[in-house]
Homo-oligomer: A and B are copies of this chain.
Amino acid sequence: MSAESRFLTLLRLLANDPAAQGLADDVAILPVGDTRLILTSDTMVEGVHYLPTDPPADIGWKLAAVNLSDLAAKGAKPVGCLLNYALSGDDAWDEAFIAGLGEALDRHAMPLLGGDTVKMPTGSARSYSLTAIGEATGAVPTRSGAQPGDRLYLSGPVGDAGIGLVLASADAAASGPLVEAYRRPRPRLAEGALLAPHATAMMDVSDGLLIDASRMGQASGVAITIDHIPLSPALERVRGASTAVQIAAARAGDDYELLFTMPRGLTPPVRAIPVGHVAAGSGLTLIIDGAVIPLPDSLGWEHG
């Protein structure tokens, strides 16, 4: 067994409660009285999950947004959150971070409930964690419910954030819709709540369409075919829409659109772009402009 899977096995031994779902989903589902709480936590590390040159307000926004996106994928309503904050030693930077975090929390009605603030030793990369609590609004879709015959949808185009990261890496002062997509992702809470009663499976695309669709297929025990990679006009303007650009967009992370399946014949109750379908079997197939494309070696962002 590899060290990584030994580590995960050890964690799963501690996750001996049905609420943990075997740590196989992005969230825990905790029954409390008549309701179910949705629990999720994400950490962002300087130089790993964001650029040290990113504006602090955007880093704060993003920390909230990535956690809210996990709630969105469960159709959950935000209840509150706890913040673990590492002071930067630069007061203006810290205040801008909290202002950006606060914008995202206010926008999505998620109060801060508590947390911890620490100082890091000089020279250390800083990291921030947010633990978000949501409340189920009804059905809670998992990533494992996709059925043969289902259609696969995205709530919006992919690839913008990936190009935005490239642009921001080259020039910290870069701006525009692609950089905005990377720095200020929009959690699809309203869409998630409307989709939850109808989706057979749902998750947010945080690591890339190909890898996340592949995970959905594996968890559901089905084969998934992607036959359309939706690109935004902003991305097409900058990069075109060649096969290479489409593959790059399908491997790029950080878009936070919802990926979901619904039975054929049902119409999604929100804007949704058909991107493929589900069949019996296993594995991921990628079709671009009618031709089957060999899958790239890396399907997206693999977590450490």
Question: What residues make up the interface of A, taking CB atoms closer than 8 Å to B?
Answer: 3, 6-7, 10-11, 13-17, 19-20, 23, 27-28, 30, 32-35, 37, 39-43, 45-49, 79-80, 82-84, 86-87, 91, 94-95, 98-99, 101-102, 105-106, 111-121, 123-125, 127, 129, 131, 133, 303-304
Our pick among B14, B32, B99, B123 for the contact of A102 (Cβ within 8 Å) is: B14
Please state the number of chain copies in the assembly. Answer: 2
Q: Which residue of B lies closest to A90 (CB)?
A: B3
Q: Which residues of B contact A27 (CB under 8 A)?
A: 114
In the bound complex, do residue B30 and residue A33 qualify as a contact, i.e. CB atoms below 8 Å apart? no
In the bound complex, do residue A41 and residue B131 qualify as a contact, i.e. CB atoms below 8 Å apart? yes
Q: Which residues of B contact A121 (CB under 8 A)?
A: 45-48, 125
In the bound complex, do residue B43 and residue A118 qualify as a contact, i.e. CB atoms below 8 Å apart? yes
In the bound complex, do residue A113 and residue B33 qualify as a contact, i.e. CB atoms below 8 Å apart? no
A-B contact pairs, 30 of them (CB 8 A): A3-B91, A7-B91, A7-B98, A11-B83, A13-B102, A14-B101, A16-B111, A19-B113, A23-B112, A28-B80, A30-B133, A32-B37, A41-B82, A41-B114, A43-B86, A43-B116, A43-B129, A45-B118, A45-B120, A46-B121, A47-B121, A48-B118, A48-B120, A49-B118, A84-B127, A116-B129, A118-B127, A118-B303, A118-B304, A120-B125
Q: Which residues of B contact A102 (CB under 8 A)?
A: 10, 13-14
Q: How far is the CB of A51 from chain B (nearest CB, A)?
A: 13
Q: Which residue of B lies closest to A112 (CB)?
A: B14
Most chain B beta-carbon contacts within 10 A, residue among A30, A49, A124: A124
